[in-house]
Amino acid sequence: MDKPEKQEKSAYAVMEEEVLAWWEKEQIFQKLLKERKTKKEFVFYEGPPTANGMPHPGHVLGRCFKDLFLRYKSMQGYFVPRRAGWDTHGLPVEIEIEKKLGIKTKSEIEKFGVGEFNRLCKESVWKYKDEWERMTKRIGFWLDMDHPYITYDAKYMETLWWIIKRVFDKGMLVQDYKVMQYCARCGTGLSSHEIAQGYKTVKDKSLYLKFPVKDEHASFLVWTTTPWTLPANVALAVNPKLTYVKAKKDGETLIVAEGRLSVLGDGWEVLEHVKGKDLAGMRYERPFPYMKAQKDAFFVITADFVTATDGSGIVHIAPAYGEDDMAAAKKHDLPVLHPVQENGQFSQEIPWQGVFVKDADPAIVENVKERSLFFKEETYEHEYPFCWRCDTPILYYARKSWFITMSSLKDELVKRNKKVNWVPEHIKEGRFGEWLSQVKDWAFSRERYWGTPLPIWRCDTCGHGDAVGSVVELGERSQLRNRYFMMRHGQAMFNVKNVTETSGRPENHLTKKGIQETKASLARFTKKYKGVVPDVIIASPFPRALETARMAAEHFAIVSEAIVSEAAIREVHVGVFDGKPAKQYHAYFSSYEEKFTKQPPEGEDLTALRARMTAFIKEAEKNNEGKTIMIVSHEYPLWMLETALRGYDIAETVAAKKKKGNDFIKTAEIRELPGARLPLDENGFLDLHKPHIDDITLACRSCEGGVMRRVSEVCDVWFDSGAMPFAQANFPFACAQVKSAKSKAQSDGVSLSETEYKKLLKQIPYPADFITEAVDQTRGWFYTLLAVATVLDADVPYRTVISQGHILDKHGKKMSKSKKNYTDPLEIADTYGIDALRWHFFVASPVGEPKRFDEKDVLDAQRKSVAVLFNIAHFLSAYTGGVKRGPVKLPARLKNPLDAWVVSRLHETIAGVTEALDKYDALVAARQLGEYLDDVTNWYIRRSRERFQLAEDKADYRAGVSTLEYVFGETIKLAAPFIPFSTERLWQTMKKKGSIHVQLYPKAEKKRIDKHLQYDMMRIREVASIVLKKRAEAGIKVRQPLGSVMINGKTFAVRTKGLLRFIQDEVNVKEVRVDNALAEDIQLDTTITQELREEGMIREIMRHIQQARKDAGLTKKDIVIVRYATDDATARAIEAWGDRMKQRIVAKKIERVAEDTVSEARAIIGDGYAVKFVIIH
C-alpha cells in the first residue's frame, strides 16, 4: 500500500478509525476494566504532561510503549486501571502567560495582579487538551482521561501539604543561606534535577590574571572561567599539599602550581619552590576594590578542592557565587560580597551597574588589560547549565531558600534503587545510580506564583514557624471573625404549590404552617444555644425571608433595625422557569452537577450563585468582627454558602445535597455555619493557591498575640509529579479510616502513628508495577518519585522502569518544531495507519536507544506486520470458506509435518514473546513475532497453497484448514497488544464474540513444541535456499521444473520423515535424492528436457491466467472459460495439461480459437512460444 496523496486517508487509517468508533460505542475499555475489577491489580502510573504544549513524536513513542505492556498485562488477566494525569503548575506555564502579556519581570507580574496572573495560568494549562486527548485516542492508548489527576486540584495539593508537614516535622525541610543554581530571568532558584534538564555544550573565554602580592614584587597567577565574579573576591585558595613555584621572566615574578608551569609558556626561570600550606596567610591586592568587606579578607587560604589538573592551581574565592567558595568562607570566617542583584545585573557599587553579569565579562577583561593585570585569555568548550524553560544562563548565586536535606538519605535512596528492575539495565548503576551517589539537597522552594504554596507560616513577633498539613488543620487554626447561623425561611405559599419563585413576588407569604414551624425552630435554637442572641440578622429581600427575619427579631427581642435586607443572598435566579412548576426547572438539567455550568435561559447557574454567596460572606467578615450573625435566606443559596465554607468541590457539594434528601436545609431550619476561614476563590471554591492562601493568618502558638503569615515561596513543580502516587489518591485523607475517624488526631490526617500510616498505604495503588518515560526523566520524574517515597519512609515507588531513548530524525538530529524535521504523528497515522507506526517503534531498536525515524521504515513495518496478517486472513477466506465462530481444537498429534511444524513454531513464539514481554523487552518480543509471521506466510502458506487450492486429499485439507484457523486465531491474540486496531478488525472478521482485547493472552503448550522437527525444517529450508541460489546462478526461473537435486546426507541430516518433498515443491524439482557419499553438499541437475520445458511453459501460462483472474477481482468460487490462440505445438501441450490446468485456474473450459476472434487479449511471450488469451466469467 503506497503512500497516498496528502489529506487522503489510507484504507488502513479508515479501518483503524472504524475500530476506534466501535470501541467507543461499545465502551470496550470500560467493559474490560469492569470485567477484571476483581482480579489482581497491575499498578501503572502515568507521568503527567503539561497540556499547554502540543504533543510531539516523543510522546507518541512513549504512549505506544505504555499501551503495549498495559494491554499485555490486561490480556494476562490483571486488573489494569490507567488514570491520566496533568502537570499544571510551574515555570513552563508562567512563561507562556508572561509572553502573552508582554511581561518580563516578577515586579510586572505583581503589578498586573497575582490573582489574575494565576487565573490565566490555570486557564492556559488546558490550551492543547483536545490535541492530547485526540492523539492519545488515535494511537490506541487506552487511558482514563475522564477522571484524571490534576496537580492544581485542591485535594491533590492537600496531600502535597501533608507530605511537606511530615518532612518539616522531621527537621528535614530547612531554610538556609546557600549558593544555589539560580535563573535570574525567572527570579528563582532551581533544583539539581531541573538543572540536569538544561545543559548545553558552549564555548566560553577563560581568563588568567595577576593578583599582586602585598609588600612583594610578585603576583599570584589566578585562572577563572567566570570573570564577572571577580568584584566579589575575598580570598585566594591553594592546595596545602601541592608544590608551588615562583617563576620569573622579563623582570616579572608569578606564583603558580608547579604542575601548571606550562601555562606560563617558554622562557620562565623557576626561582623558588614552596608548599601550598606555606603560602597561607599571604595578602594580596584584589583587582576590583569596589565593595567594602565587613570582615578580614584578601589573603591566601588552603582548600583541598584546589587541584593542579587545570588552570594555575590557584583559585579565586567569591563566596556568593560558588558552593566550594561558600564552604571555604564559612570555614575561614570570610565576608560574603554580593554585588549582583536578583535580576542578574550588577548593583550600583560596580561600574557595570545594570548589565547582566555574563554580558559584562568582555568589559571586565578589557578593564584588567588596561591595568596590566591581564596575563592571557583562552577559549574552552564545556557543559554549562541553562534554565530548562526560559533558556537563560544559570548563575551560581547565594540566597535564602528552603531545602530538603536529601543528602542525609543517600544510602536509603541507593538501597531502594537496588530493588528496581531498570530497562535498560545499565541505567540502575549508571545514569541513575551515579546521580543518587552524588545526591544533593533538594532546592525545594521557588520565588514564583503559579505553584503549590509552601504551607509554612511564620510568626511576625517571635519568628516561630509551623507547617500546616491539611485543610482541616488550616481551618482549625484560622477562624472567621464572626459566628454565623443560617436559617431558611418558613414554608411559603409557592412551597405548597411546588412552584419556583425567584423574583420576590409580594403574594408569596409564609403559610400558617410556615409561621408555626418558624416559631418552633427559634424555640429549639434558644434551648440548644443558651444565651446566644444574634447581633445582626441579614435577610434576603424576598417577603418570605423578611417575614421570617422579623419573627426572629421578635423572638430574640432585638430591634427591627438589626435586620439588614441583602440582595446578595436572594433566591437563585431560575430565569424563564420563575413561577413555573419546580419540576420543569429541574428537568432542564441532566444532573445536579450540570446546574453548576449550565445556565437556565435568563437565569444563573449555581457557580454564579455560589460566587455571590461567597462575596457576601467576605463582605460580612470585612464589615463585622466578634459578632453573632443570623443569615435568613433560601435553600439553594444556603446550600452554596455552607458547602463553600466547608471547602467542598462540586462533587462533594452534590453529595451533601443528596445526603440531606429533597431539601439541603428544611424550611425554618437553623444551622450553625462552619467557623473555619478557608482560602476561597472568586467562585467560592477552595483554592490553596496564591493570593487566596496568603490572606490566611494563624494565631501563633509559641507566643502571646503573635500573628503568623505564610512564607512567600511555592514548591518545586517537580515535587507535584513526584508525589503523584499519594496525591492522586488524596492520601491519607480519602482513606476509609481517616474519613470516618472521630478524633481530630486522626481526621486531620497529620497526626497518624507510623503503624496507622503503613496500614493506610495498603489502601492505595502503591507501588507501581511499571512506569516508563523518556531517558531525561531519570533525573526528573523518576528521581522525584523515589525522593518523595524515601522522605516518607515508604518502599520504592516503582518495580520496573523503562527509560526510553529519544526519537531522532532520519539524520540522527533531535526532532524540533523550529527545524521542521518531523511529520505530525497523526499525519503518519492517516498515511500508513498507527499500527504500522507502533510496530516500527517496537522493532526499530532497543527501547533505551535513540530511534532514528524515517517514513519509509514505517511503510516497511506495515508490510511486515499489518499487511501480513491481512494477507493471511485473505488466504483463509479465499481457500477455507472463512473461519468458524467457536474455538478450534487440534488433535494431540498432527499427521502433516508442516502442520505440526507451524503449531510448534507458534507455541515456541508464544513462549518467547511472553518471556520477552515479562522482561519488558519489546524489541525481542516484536522481532520474534515478526519472524513467526514470516514463517507462516513464506513457508507454511506457500508450501500449503496447492494443498488448499486443490484439496485433493480431503482429510489433509480439513486438517490444514483447522491448523491455519487455530494458528491465525492464536497469532492475532499474540499480536493484539502490539497492533491493536488490525487485530481487533481481524477478530471481528473471524466473527468472534466481543473484543480481542478482552481475551486472555495465549499460553505456550510445551507438549506442542517439537525442537527436532523445527531443526529439521530449518535444515530443509536451508537446502532450499541454497538450491534456489544455484538456480539463479544458472539463470533458470523457479517456474521451470528441473529433474533432480542431490544433497549430502551427512551435511544435511534430517531425521523427520516426509520433509524432503518440501524441498521438491519449493525449488521445483521432480526428485530429491540423499547421498552420503556426495562430493559436494548439494548438486543440482540443470538439464532441461523437452518434457520439463513443456511443463515450465504450462506453469508460466497458468501464472498469467491467475493474474488475470486476480486483476478481474475474481475469487476461488468464480468459474471461468479461457479462450486462447497459439501455434499447434503449444496448443497440443495445453490440451495435454488441460484437466490439471482447469483444476488450478478454476476453469470450466479451455478453448483454442482463431487469433482474430480474441479481442482485448493478454499476450504471453515465452522461450519459443507465444499465447494470446481472454477469460470469460
Q: What is the CATH number of the domain that holds 869?
A: 1.10.730.10
Verify that 276 and 368 share a domain, yes or no: yes
* 1176 DSSP β-pair partners: 1121
Q: Strands (DSSP E) along 678-792, which ranges?
A: 698-699, 707-710, 714-715, 771-774
Task: Determine, yes or no, domain membership for 442.
Answer: no
Domain end point (choices 338, 354, 385): 385
CA–CA separation, 907 and 903 (whole Å): 6
Strands 483-488 and 536-539: unpaired
In sequence order, the β-bridge partners of residue 479 are 676
Residue for grid cell 485433493: 952
Between the alpha carbon of residue 126 and those of residues 53, 604, 688, 1072, the distances in Å are: 9, 25, 19, 70
Please indicate, yes or no, if residue 578 is contained in any of the structural domains: yes
923 assigned to some structural domain: yes
d(CA 961, CA 938): 17
Q: Residue 410 half-sphere exposure, CB side, CA atoms within 13 Å?
A: 11
**610 assigned binding-site residue:** no
Q: Which of 385, 406, 426 is the last residue of a domain?
A: 385
Residue 1061 and residue 943 share a domain: no
Contact 19, 985 (CB under 8 A): yes
Q: Which three cell numbers stand for residue 338?
A: 554580593
Is 495 annotated in some ligand binding site? Answer: yes
pLDDT for the residue 683:
96
Does a structural domain hold residue 106? no
Q: Is 295 annotated as a binding residue?
A: no
- Considering 46, 571, 713, 756, which one is annotated as catalytic? 571
3-state secondary structure 378-427: EEEEEEEEECCCCCCECEEEEEEEEEECHHHHHHHHHHHHCCCEEECCHH
Residue 187 known to bind ligand: no
Catalytic residue among 193, 332, 489, 689: 489
Distance, in Å, from the CA atom of 256 to the CA atom of 247, rounded to the nearest integer, reads: 8
Q: Which of 720, 784, 718, 792 is nearest to 761 (CA)?
A: 792
CB count within 10 Å of CB 387 equals: 23
Q: Annotation-wise, does 852 bind a ligand?
A: no
Structural domain ending residue among the three candidates 745, 762, 779: 762
Q: Check the annotation: does 683 bind a ligand.
A: no
489 catalytic? Reply is yes
Reply yes or no: is the peptide bond before residue 732 cis, omega within 30 of 0.
yes
Q: At what angle do helices 11-26 and 980-989 cross, to 10 degrees?
A: 80
pLDDT at 1: 41
Do residue 998 and residue 1023 come from a single domain? no
Joined together, the cell numbers standing for residue 340 give: 549582583
- Bridge partners for 707 per DSSP: 699
1057 and 944 within one domain? no
One domain for residues 1079 and 1105: no
Residue 108 lies in a domain: no
Residues 239 and 374 in one domain: yes
Under a CB-based contact definition with an 8 Å cutoff, are residues 1036 and 1086 in contact? yes
Of the CA atoms within 13 Å of residue 713, those in its CB half-sphere come to 20
Residues 988, 944: one domain? Answer: yes
* Euclidean distance between CA atoms 394 and 949, whole angstroms: 73
Q: Could you tell me which of 690, 263, 245, 160 has the C-alpha nearest to residue 450?
A: 690
Host domain of residue 371: 199-385
With DSSP H G I counted as helix, E B as strand and the rest as coil, what are the percentages for the chain, rounded to 5? Answer: 45, 20, 35
Q: List, for the chain, all residue ranges whose pLDDT scores fall below the cut of 70.
A: 1-7, 193, 736-751, 816-820, 881-886
Looking at this protein, which amino acid is placed at residue 863? R
Is 185 one of the annotated binding-site residues? no
Give 82-111 as a DSSP string.
Answer: -EEEE---SHHHHHHHHHHHT--SHHHHHH
CA triple 599-600-603, angle to 5 deg: 85
Q: Calculate the alpha carbon distances from 434 to 568, 763, 783, 795, 849 in Å.
A: 62, 33, 12, 20, 19
Go through 1012-1037 and write b for each residue having 16 or more CB atoms within 10 A of its CB, e for each that does not. Answer: ebbebbebbbebbebbeebbeeeebe
Domain check: are 1063 and 1111 in the same one? Answer: no
Does 599 show up as a binding residue in the annotation? no
Q: In this structure, are residues 493 and 508 in contact, taking their beta carbons and an 8 Å threshold?
A: yes
Q: 3-state SS of 1002-1060?
A: CCCCHHHCCHHHHHHHHHHHHHHHHHHHHHHHHCCCCCCCEEEEEECCCCCCCCCCCCH
Query: Sign of torsion, CA 51 52 54 59?
Result: negative
Nearby residues of 795 by Cβ (< 8 Å), 6 or more positions away = 416, 419, 766, 767, 789
Q: Strand 235-238 to strand 299-302: parallel, antiparallel, or no bridges (unpaired)?
A: parallel
Distance in angstroms (rounded) separating the CA atoms of residues 195 and 392: 12
pLDDT in tens, 446-487: 999 999 999 999 999 999 999 999 999 999 999 999 999 999
Contact yes or no for 359/175 (Cβ under 8 A) = no
Whether 639 is covered by a domain: the verdict is: yes
Are 341 and 210 found together in one domain?
A: yes
pLDDT of residue 97: 94
Query: What's the pLDDT score for residue 884?
Result: 54
Strand stretches in 166-242, DSSP E: 173-183, 188-189, 199-212, 219-224, 235-238
In a domain, 462, yes or no: no
Q: What is the CA radius of gyration of the chain?
A: 41
CB atoms within 10 A of CB 10: 19
> Is residue 571 annotated as part of the catalytic site, yes or no?
yes
| Strand, coil or helix: 129 | helix
CATH number of the domain bearing residue 493: 3.40.50.1240
For residue 817, say whether it is annotated as part of any ligand binding site.
Answer: yes
Q: Can you tell me the distance from the alpha carbon of 830 to that of 826, in angstroms, rounded to the nearest whole number?
A: 6
DSSP 1155: G
The order of strands in the sheet holding 1162-1166 is 1147-1152, 1120-1126, 1169-1176, 1162-1166
Structural domain total, the chain: 6
User: pLDDT tens-digit profile of 298-352?
Assistant: 999 999 999 998 899 999 999 999 889 999 999 999 999 999 998 899 999 999 9
Residues 1077 and 1124 in one domain: no
Distance CA 533, CA 531 (A): 6
For residues 294 and 277, membership in a common domain is answered with: yes
Q: For residues 1105 and 1028, state if they share a domain.
A: no
Residue 927 within a domain? yes
How many Cβ atoms sit within 10 Å of the Cβ of residue 476? 15
C-alpha 92/C-alpha 390 separation (Å) is 8
